[in-house]
């Protein structure tokens, strides 16, 4: 059967209806989504178990709206949330099984040439890990919400890292998605922030 060059009207109708939906999500469901996200984080990486990870409230709302639009409902229900949790667990277990067959501890990973791999670590500069470590220390150990550029320069001065090297490292870390910045690139925090 030849492929049509025209879009499928059923798919268009589904997508447009999903965009028109403005679901109502209660506060109780947002709390349940946050709990589900904690379960997902612990399932995907047990090293994070026991950490209280603060999630962006906008992200929680977007997840709730996506679940409603996927099911074409105007209210989020517990059954929809349970279904999404079971989907994740099923997909993650398949991924974990696949990963186990392709990687061996202490050895090389066998991945075919058609698999896209992130090489972000290759684009990091000579001082990027030290800058990132200092940002993690400020947020996770000292308890700061954000680490200032002035504080980073002061903390890294004994390691003979200049202000321009700190600024270059920060730009690379932002570009690689390892940190986020605010206030005109003067405050920084890691992408994942853990609070005990």
- Is residue 2, in this structure, part of any structural domain at all? no
Same domain flag for 150 and 181:
yes
The pTM score is 0.41
Provide the pLDDT for residue 54: 59
Strands (E), the chain: 147-148, 179-182, 187-190
Q: Which domain holds residue 62?
A: 9-102
Measured CA to CA, the distance from residue 192 to residue 188 in angstroms comes to: 12
- Is residue 155, in this structure, part of any structural domain at all? yes
**In angstroms, how far apart are the furthest CA atoms of the chain?**
70
- The total of other beta-carbon atoms located within 10 Å of residue 38's CB is 16
- Is residue 3, in this structure, part of any structural domain at all? no
For 91, the token pair is 């997909």
Same domain flag for 58 and 133:
no
pLDDT tens-place string over residues 115-162: 555 555 567 888 898 999 999 899 888 889 899 999 999 999 999 999
State which of 25-29, 89-93, 133-137 shows the largest mean pLDDT: 133-137
Same domain flag for 19 and 87:
yes
Burial string for 21-33 (b: 16+ CB within 10 Å, else e) reads eebebeeebbebb
Same domain flag for 79 and 132:
no
Query: Which of 73, 102, 131 lies at the terminal end of a domain, its last residue?
Result: 102
Measured CA to CA, the distance from residue 188 to residue 137 in angstroms comes to: 12
Same domain flag for 98 and 18:
yes
Query: Which of 102, 137, 160 lies at the terminal end of a domain, its last residue?
Result: 102
- Is residue 54, in this structure, part of any structural domain at all? yes
What strands, in cross-sheet order, belong to the sheet with 187-190? 147-148, 187-190, 179-182
- Is residue 4, in this structure, part of any structural domain at all? no
pLDDT tens-place string over residues 154-182: 999 999 999 999 999 999 888 888 888 88
Domain count, the chain: 2
Q: Give me the CATH number covering residue 185.
A: 1.10.10.10
Measured CA to CA, the distance from residue 83 to residue 104 in angstroms comes to: 33
């Amino acid at each position: 059967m030849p492929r049509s060059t025209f879009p499928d009207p059923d798919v268009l109708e589904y997508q447009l209806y999903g965009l028109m939906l403005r679901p109502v999500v209660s506060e109780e469901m947002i709390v349940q989504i946050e709990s589900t996200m904690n379960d997902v984080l612990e399932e995907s990486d047990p090293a994070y178990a026991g950490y209280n990870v603060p999630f962006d409230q906008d992200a929680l709302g977007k997840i709730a709206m996506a679940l409603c639009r996927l099911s074409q409902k105007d209210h989020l229900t517990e059954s929809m949330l349970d279904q999404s949790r079971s989907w994740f667990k099923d997909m993650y277990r398949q991924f974990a099984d696949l990963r186990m067959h392709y990687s061996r501890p202490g050895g090389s990973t066998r991945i075919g040439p058609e698999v896209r791999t992130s090489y972000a670590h290759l684009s990091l500069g000579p001082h990027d890990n030290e800058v990132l470590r200092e940002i993690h220390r400020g947020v996770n150990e000292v308890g700061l919400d954000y680490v200032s550029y002035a504080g980073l320069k002061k903390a890294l001065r004994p390691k003979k890292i200049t202000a321009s090297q700190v600024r270059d490292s920060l730009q690379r870390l932002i570009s690689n998605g390892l940190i986020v910045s605010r206030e005109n690139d003067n405050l920084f925090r890691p992408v994942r922030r853990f609070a005990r």
